[in-house]
């Protein structure tokens, strides 16, 4: 592993700290009128997704974590694991569904995703900002339920349950925000 100066931090950079494996969400160099300069950061734990705010001295050395990203195709779910295929070598790998966190709820068979690896460990997947999923089960919409702003639960094809407006019917395709898990619009 290589060490880098905190002055060289950039958004999206991976860091191996005593607290765990992190990625930089945000950073700010601060030079107060009195005392030494420092770097204020906001870091996301890649394993637990928790956010940590940490302050480093300027020019402090930290371990940089090299996170590999590879394009994979989601093939199928097999019990407590999911199977991906490398799109160039056609190699298949099985990943524990718990290591994907909430991201696994947005995967449809045949979709391409970017897998993040640290050494041999799969630490997550990058999803698009929104995905289109089919509504499998919800109460049918009623004429006139278009303005009220009320919501009802809907089960999607991946098993994810989201709150949708009353006018959404079964077998419709909707767009869901992968960052918040909220309904965006009909597709």
Which string of DSSP letters, residue by residue, matches 37-61? -EEEEEEEETTT--EEEEEEETT-E
b/e code 144-154 from CB counts within 10 Å (16+ = b): eeeeeeeeeeb
In the chain, CATH 2.30.30.30 sits at: 2-64
CATH of 2-64, one of 2.40.30.10, 2.30.110.10, 2.30.30.30, 3.40.50.2000: 2.30.30.30
Backbone angles phi, psi at 47, to 5 degrees: -90, -40
pLDDT at 125: 84
**Tens-binned pLDDT, residue by residue, of the chain (187 aa):** 688 998 889 988 889 999 889 989 999 999 988 888 999 999 988 888 889 999 999 889 999 988 888 888 989 888 888 899 988 888 888 888 877 777 878 888 888 888 888 888 888 888 888 888 999 998 876 666 566 677 889 999 888 899 988 888 889 999 998 888 889 888 8
Q: What gap in Å lies between CA 136 and CA 141, rounded to an integer? A: 14
Fold of the CATH domain 68-126: OB fold (Dihydrolipoamide Acetyltransferase, E2P) (2.40.50)
Assess contact for 135 and 173: CB atoms under 8 A: yes
Pairing of strands 130-137, 92-96: unpaired
pLDDT at 186: 86
Tens of pLDDT, residue by residue over 72-110, are 898 988 888 889 998 888 888 888 887 777 787 888 888
In the chain, CATH 2.40.50.140 sits at: 68-126, 130-186
pLDDT at 144: 61
Place of tokens 């860091």: 15
pLDDT at 119: 83
Tens of pLDDT, residue by residue over 120-134, are 888 888 888 888 899
Between the CA of residue 15 and those of 4, 48, 99, what are the distances in Å? 9, 15, 19
Residues paired with residue 108 on neighbouring β-strands, in sequence order: none
Assess contact for 14 and 118: CB atoms under 8 A: yes
Fold of the CATH domain 130-186: OB fold (Dihydrolipoamide Acetyltransferase, E2P) (2.40.50)
Task: Order the strands of the 81-86 sheet from edge to edge.
Answer: 92-96, 81-86, 68-78, 112-118, 121-126
Pairing of strands 173-177, 61-64: unpaired
């Amino acid at each position: 592993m290589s060490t880098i100066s905190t002055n060289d931090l950039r958004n999206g950079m991976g860091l191996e700290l005593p607290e765990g494996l992190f990625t930089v969400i945000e950073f700010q160099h601060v030079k107060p009128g009195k005392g030494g300069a420092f770097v204020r950061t906001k870091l996301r734990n890649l394993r637990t997704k928790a956010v940590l705010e940490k302050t480093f001295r300027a020019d402090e050395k930290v371990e940089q974590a090299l996170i590999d990203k590879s394009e994979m195709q989601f093939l199928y779910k097999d019990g407590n694991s999911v199977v991906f295929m490398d799109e160039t070598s056609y190699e298949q790998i099985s990943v524990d569904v718990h290591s994907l966190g909430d991201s696994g709820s947005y995967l449809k068979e045949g979709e391409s995703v970017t897998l993040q690896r640290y050494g041999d460990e799969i630490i997550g997947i990058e999803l698009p900002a929104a995905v289109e999923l089919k509504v499998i089960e919800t109460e049918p919409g009623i004429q006139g339920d278009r303005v009220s702003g009320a919501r009802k639960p809907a089960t999607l094809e991946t098993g994810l349950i989201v709150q949708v407006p009353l006018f959404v019917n079964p077998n419709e395709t909707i767009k869901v925000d992968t960052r918040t898990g909220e309904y965006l619009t009909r597709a």
